[in-house]
């Protein structure tokens, strides 16, 4: 067995796994193992994986858990900084909403620290009480809670009362008045000129 996994294996598990490996090896080089169907090999492999996977899981979780813890702490610190910020870009967010983020962050922080203590007290060859999947789930929880609050858009300034948007001159003329024209002065309609001046009055002839 690989020495990297030694501290992650219980004594009973080790004995059982070694016995299973020896049995599988003996079978593999037997007449039956050399000439059998594919499903028989798959079944033997699955049986070995059932014994070995829990050990591999504990080993990998040690590294994965630390990465997940670091990511969650970074996320919590980021949201706490925003929720307690006095920057102008966050000034429009209601204080009650900011406080709800602060409280949520504090709750998740306490959960994380409590779980870290519990995990530290647990031997490596026992399944962990705090997994990277648990931590990632908590990280998603705080992201989905805080992001909509802290990214709320700033409201647009109100439009002053009485102010109207000017309308473009696109009104069409009234068809009823389209044919109405001012009367022309009397005169020669054909020439369009003014009427001739009046001549001298006719004289009476004796």
pLDDT tens profile 28-60: 888 777 788 888 888 888 887 887 888 889 989
Q: Report DSSP state, residue 206.
A: -
Supply the mean pLDDT for the chain. 79
Are 76 and 109 in contact, with CB atoms under 8 Å apart?
yes
pLDDT of residue 102: 96
Task: Kindly state the greatest CA–CA separation across the chain.
Answer: 168
Global pTM reads 0.64
Cα-based angle 157, 160, 161 (whole degrees, multiple of 5): 140
Residue 137 confidence (pLDDT) above 90? yes
Are 148 and 104 in contact, with CB atoms under 8 Å apart?
no
**Residue written as tokens 């990277």?**
132
Are 130 and 64 in contact, with CB atoms under 8 Å apart?
no
Cα-Cα end-to-end distance for the chain: 160
- Residue 174 CA to chain centroid, in angstroms? 56
Higher pLDDT pick, 54 / 136: 136
In the chain, what are the domain boundaries? 3-150
Q: pLDDT band for position 86 (50/70/90)?
A: confident
Residue 191 confidence (pLDDT) above 50? no
C-alpha span between 70 and 132 (Å, rounded): 11
């Amino acid at each position: 067995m690989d020495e990297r996994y030694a501290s992650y294996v219980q004594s009973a598990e080790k004995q059982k796994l070694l016995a299973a490996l020896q049995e599988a090896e003996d079978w593999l080089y037997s007449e039956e193992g050399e000439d059998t169907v594919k499903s028989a090999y798959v079944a033997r492999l699955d049986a070995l994986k059932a014994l070995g996977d829990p050990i591999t899981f504990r080993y990998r979780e040690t590294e994965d858990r630390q990465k997940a813890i670091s990511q969650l702490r970074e996320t919590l610190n980021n949201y706490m900084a925003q929720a307690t910020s006095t920057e102008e870009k966050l000034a429009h967010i209601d204080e009650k909403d900011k406080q709800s983020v602060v409280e949520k962050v504090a709750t998740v922080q306490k959960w994380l620290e409590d779980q870290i203590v519990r995990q530290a007290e647990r031997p490596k060859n026992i399944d962990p009480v705090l997994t990277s999947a648990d931590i990632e789930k908590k990280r998603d929880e705080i992201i989905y809670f805080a992001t909509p609050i802290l990214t709320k858009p700033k409201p647009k300034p109100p439009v002053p009362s009485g102010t109207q948007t000017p309308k473009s001159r696109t009104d069409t003329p009234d068809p009823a008045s389209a044919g109405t024209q001012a009367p022309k002065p009397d005169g020669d309609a054909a020439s369009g000129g003014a009427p001739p001046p009046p001549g001298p009055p006719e004289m009476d002839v004796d």
